[in-house]
Each structure stands twice: as structure tokens, then as C-alpha cells.
């Protein structure tokens, strides 16, 4: 990812503190993935929600 605000290592630490959470890296997206690739974000959310 290209997130300059929340590095992957920080996101990983946060995920470990949230039981049941999962981390998904969205290729080509930065801190605001819904602006970078709205279709990819929508598809990812739909897949995660079942």
C-alpha cells in the first residue's frame, strides 16, 4: 500500500489488539482507499460481509 499516514506495521499492531479483526492491503491505495479505488473498496467490503 501507499499509506504515508498509517504504515503497515502500525496497522498490524492495531489488528492484533482487536480480536476478530483482519487487515486487508489494497494495492495502489493510500490512507483514503475509498477515493483511490472506490470499486475495489466496495468489492472488498462486500466479500468481507458475506
E strands along the chain, which residues? none
Q: What is the pLDDT of residue 31?
A: 92
The pLDDT, as a whole number, for residue 7 is 85
Query: From the CB of residue 33, how many other CB atoms can be counted at a distance below 10 Å?
Result: 20
Distances (CA, A) of 22 to 11, 41: 10, 15
pLDDT at position 27 is 93
According to the model, what pLDDT value does residue 1 have? 63
Q: What is the pLDDT along the chain (50 residues), one digit of tens a residue?
A: 688 898 888 888 988 999 888 888 899 999 999 999 999 999 999 999 98
Amino acid at each position: 500500500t501507499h499509506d504515508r499516514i498509517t504504515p503497515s506495521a502500525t496497522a498490524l499492531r492495531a489488528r492484533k489488539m482487536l480480536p476478530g479483526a483482519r487487515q486487508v492491503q489494497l494495492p495502489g491505495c493510500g490512507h483514503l482507499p475509498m477515493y483511490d479505488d472506490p470499486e475495489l473498496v466496495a468489492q472488498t467490503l462486500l466479500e468481507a460481509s458475506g
